[in-house]
């Protein structure tokens, strides 16, 4: 049968971002997928030579607006390791709280977009309605909805007082109740399962071999989560990586749904154990040496390589984002799938192109 090439993107109604795949199809079955990237490349790693290491915190927050807090956290933790700064324990717990709030809003955003991807618009609206409440928590505690800018090298810049802590706990209880009402529709509905079960299957061996990270990996039954490294205060909190063995789109959506509930639990634990110390430690001197720092983003494992040369500018800031690691697994999922299932399968890796291309 003759082969045709169908472009998917860069402007596609399912994705707000320019992801471009060239799909080689035979009839309506995908034979091969070829990615083309570079539409949102800015080259922000070079700004390290212009901005000093404290100003770079604001730049790395804008690598990706959805998980900005976690990017800044990773960068700050890397510099703190390099400069031997002991971060106060209250700052570690506050970092956990804000990063988990970011994970909740990112997963809710994805669940909404995924519902929109298979044409269930009212479910999309429900998830985004819940998400707005998390944005309100961000705005009330940090002053901005998306880029909250709480991390500095050596600690955090904002505190949560007792009233705010109680309010966050109240809001989370209400959110969890509302979210649990949507669980049946998202994971058990006949029509939804028709679109998600068995679409974009990735086996555990393939996932490990191709270097999948985050929910894409855990959706194939591999219990690996960078939070188990115990950075910030995660070593003192109880949680288990959420996994699901099926490896299809349904499994990945289940992992993300359960992780949202898990993150709410982590925030509760962190608030109940919040110690009473300073917010930030003094940072002496200039960064010298090399360091690699890993954290868990909503999309998977994020890696920063930092190199300092004793001046106020970093010599190199290298960022490896989870979507970059998840593109080879996506290309492995697509062959054999129907053309109509491509948006669903592409969405399940939660592509963040602005992270990938920076």
Partner 1 sequence: MGLLENWINKGRLKSPWVVHFDCGSCNGCDIEVLACLTPVFDVERFGIINVGNPKHADVLLVTGTVNHRNKKVLKNIYDQMPDPKAVIAIGACGTSGGVFRECYNVVGGVDQVIPVDVYVPGCPAKPDAIIDGVVTALDVVKAKLGLGEMPKVTVID
Measured from the CB atom, the residue of 24 and 147 that comes closer to partner 1 is: 147
Rounded to 5 degrees, φ, ψ at 83 are -100, 10
Which of 349, 236, 319 lies closest to 56, judged by CA?
Answer: 319
Reduce the DSSP state of residue 178 to 3 states and report it: helix
Distance CA 255, CA 200 (A): 15
Measured from the CB atom, the residue of 11 and 203 that comes closer to partner 1 is: 11
Measured from the CB atom, the residue of 138 and 262 that comes closer to partner 1 is: 138
Structure tokens at 10: 């860069």
Reduce the DSSP state of residue 324 to 3 states and report it: helix
Which of 321, 299, 252, 263 lies closest to 114, judged by CA?
Answer: 252
Measured from the CB atom, the residue of 10 and 221 that comes closer to partner 1 is: 10
Structure tokens at 226: 């960078």
Q: Footprint of partner 1 on this chain (CB under 8 A)?
A: 10-11, 13, 16-18, 38-44, 46-47, 50, 58-59, 62-66, 68, 109, 112, 124-125, 128-129, 131-132, 135, 145-147, 352, 354
Measured from the CB atom, the residue of 69 and 271 that comes closer to partner 1 is: 69
Do 253 and 348 contact (CB within 8 A), yes or no?
A: yes
Do 348 and 44 contact (CB within 8 A), yes or no?
A: no
For residue 94, the 8-state DSSP code is: H
CB of 52 to partner 1, least distance (A): 14
Element (H, E) at 33: strand 29-36
CB of 42 to partner 1, least distance (A): 5
Rounded to 5 degrees, φ, ψ at 291 are -155, 150
Residue 235's contacts (CB-CB under 8 Å, 6 or more residues apart) are none
Cis omega (within 30 of 0) on the bond before 10? yes
């Amino acid at each position: 049968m003759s082969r045709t090439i169908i472009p998917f993107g860069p402007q596609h109604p399912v994705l707000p971002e320019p992801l471009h795949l060239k799909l080689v199809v035979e009839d309506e079955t995908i034979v091969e997928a070829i990615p083309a990237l570079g539409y949102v490349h800015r080259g922000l790693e070079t700004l390290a030579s212009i901005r000093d290491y404290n100003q770079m915190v604001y730049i790395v927050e804008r690598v990706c607006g959805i998980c900005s807090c976690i990017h800044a956290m990773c960068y700050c933790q890397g510099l703190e390791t390099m400069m031997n700064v002991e971060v106060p324990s209250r700052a570690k717990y506050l970092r956990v709280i804000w990063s988990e709030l970011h994970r909740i809003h990112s997963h809710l955003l994805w669940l909404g977009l995924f519902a929109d991807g298979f044409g269930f618009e009212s479910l999309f609206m429900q998830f985004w309605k819940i998400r707005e409440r998390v944005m309100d928590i961000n705005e009330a505690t940090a002053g901005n909805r998306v880029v909250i800018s709480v991390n500095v090298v050596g600690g955090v810049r904002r505190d949560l007082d007792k009233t705010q802590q109680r309010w966050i706990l109240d809001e989370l209880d209400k959110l969890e109740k509302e979210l649990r009402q949507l669980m049946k529709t998202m994971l058990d509905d006949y029509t939804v399962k028709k679109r998600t079960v068995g679409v974009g299957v990735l086996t555990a061996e393939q996932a490990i071999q191709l270097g999948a990270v985050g929910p894409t990996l855990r959706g194939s039954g591999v219990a690996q989560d960078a939070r188990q490294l115990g950075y910030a205060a995660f070593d003192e909190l109880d949680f288990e990586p959420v996994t699901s063995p099926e490896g299809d789109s349904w499994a990945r959506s289940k992992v993300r749904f359960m992780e949202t509930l898990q993150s709410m639990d982590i925030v509760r634990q962190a608030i109940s154990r919040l110690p009473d110390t300073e917010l930030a430690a003094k940072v002496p001197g200039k960064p010298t040496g090399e360091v690699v720092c890993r954290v868990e983003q909503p999309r998977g494992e994020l890696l920063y390589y930092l190199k300092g040369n004793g001046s106020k500018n970093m010599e190199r800031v290298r960022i490896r984002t989870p979507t970059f690691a998840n593109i080879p697994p996506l290309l492995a999922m697509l062959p054999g799938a129907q053309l109509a299932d491509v948006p669903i399968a592409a969405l399940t890796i939660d592509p963040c192109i602005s992270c990938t291309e920076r």
